[in-house]
């Protein structure tokens, strides 16, 4: 079929079909070049995506350290800062590049860490109840992966994005707590909110948290008020971190060509990098509060 259309256009080449063929050739060249460049970019990014254990190690006491490159069991101690950090994850698999760059540059992580991935679907819209998928990352305390599935008519990145993510994680923790203890989820949510609003409740949460340096399913529930009510510690920490500070962390990836690149590959990739630089999304396009937005730049060879 394509051959029939092409031969028909060729017979009319002197009468003006040359424009159609020229335009088709230019568009085909642009699409092929873009695909070639993206394949090289994805190949380079795959080399820097590893499980969390590749970047963060734990000592005998459960304290976090950066992975060491000098052959030692652990590297520099990783500090934890108060707050709720949302890392935009392009791939949605393993450890986001932006998170590994963040901890290696700042030697710190937010108290509650969220890997947020956007996954488009071939449908007009996705129901709000089915839009978010939450997964607890067991290796790292208070770390979650949130996948937002959306249709081409949905708007996901809104000014209240952190609040939506917080609500979904909160529901996930309460549901898991109810499955373990058989307790009503509404009651657990009400107790958690009351405790974190009082100084005594916050102090009790901190005291118990110090006695439980590692997170497991057995010690994730603690009695922390005078009436003997129990809530998940992760739920209390989540609420405190969200109320303290919210940060959106995005990556600005700069691609450079590896040394000794073939001349033809060098030319093609330079054209691709020029087009990519002039068409990439800017920070200002994200509909989140700019005072809560942090951009981490890094360089990657391709």
Q: Which range, of 54-58, 218-222, 226-230, 249-253, averages the lowest pLDDT?
A: 218-222
Does the pLDDT at position 141 exceed 70? yes
| Contact (Cβ atoms closer than 8 angstroms) between residue 56 and residue 103 | yes
Taken in order 22, 281, 137, 133, the sign of the CA dihedral is negative
| Contact (Cβ atoms closer than 8 angstroms) between residue 169 and residue 144 | yes
Q: pTM for this one?
A: 0.78
**What whole-number distance in Å separates Cα of residue 111 and Cα of residue 83?**
6
pLDDT given for residue 217 in this prediction: 41
Distances (CA, A) of 222 to 33, 56, 111, 219, 232: 57, 27, 19, 7, 7
**What whole-number distance in Å separates Cα of residue 145 and Cα of residue 269?**
33
Does the pLDDT at position 214 exceed 50? no
* Strands 108-120 and 143-150, sheet pairing: parallel
Q: Which range, of 32-41, 181-190, 251-260, averages the lowest pLDDT?
A: 181-190
H helix intervals, 47-153:
97-106, 128-131
Question: Residue 165 burial (CB < 10 Å; 0-12/13-18/19+)?
Answer: buried
Does the pLDDT at position 206 exceed 80? no
Convert the pLDDT of each residue in 152-198 to its tens digit: 898 888 889 999 999 999 999 988 877 766 666 565 556 556 555 55
Residue 239, Cα to own-chain centre: how many angstroms?
Answer: 20
**Is residue 206 classed as helix, strand or coil in its secondary structure?**
helix
| Bridge partners, 65 (sequence order) | 57, 77
**Residue whose structure tokens are 């009400």:** 190
Cβ atoms within 10 A of the Cβ of 230, count?
Answer: 15
């Amino acid at each position: 079929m394509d051959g029939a259309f092409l031969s028909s256009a060729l017979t009319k080449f002197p009468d003006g079909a040359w424009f159609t063929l020229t335009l088709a050739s230019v568009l085909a060249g642009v699409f092929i070049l873009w695909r070639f460049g993206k394949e090289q970019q994805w190949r380079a990014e795959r080399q820097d995506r590893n499980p969390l254990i590749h970047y963060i190690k734990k000592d005998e006491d459960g304290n976090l350290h950066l992975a060491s490159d000098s052959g030692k069991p652990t590297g520099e101690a990783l500090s934890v800062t108060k707050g709720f950090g949302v890392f935009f994850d392009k791939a949605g698999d393993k450890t986001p590049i932006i998170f590994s760059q963040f901890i290696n540059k700042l030697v710190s992580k937010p108290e509650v860490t969220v890997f947020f991935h956007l996954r488009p679907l071939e449908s007009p819209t996705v129901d709000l109840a089915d839009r978010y998928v939450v997964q607890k990352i067991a290796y790292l305390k208070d770390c979650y992966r949130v996948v937002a599935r959306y249709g081409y008519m949905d708007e996901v990145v809104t000014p209240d994005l952190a609040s939506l993510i917080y609500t979904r994680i909160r529901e996930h923790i309460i549901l898991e707590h109810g499955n373990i203890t058989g307790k009503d989820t509404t009651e657990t949510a009400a107790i958690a909110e009351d405790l974190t609003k009082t100084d005594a409740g916050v102090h009790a949460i901190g005291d118990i948290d110090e006695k439980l340096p590692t997170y497991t399913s057995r010690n994730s529930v603690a009695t922390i008020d005078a009436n003997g009510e129990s809530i998940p510690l992760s739920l209390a920490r989540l609420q405190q971190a969200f109320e303290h500070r919210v940060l959106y962390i995005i990556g600005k990836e700069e691609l450079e060509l590896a040394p000794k690149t073939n001349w033809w590959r060098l030319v093609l990739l330079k054209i691709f990098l020029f087009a990519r630089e002039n068409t990439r999304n800017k920070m200002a396009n994200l509909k989140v509060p700019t005072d809560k937005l942090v951009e981490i730049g890094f360089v990657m060879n391709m």
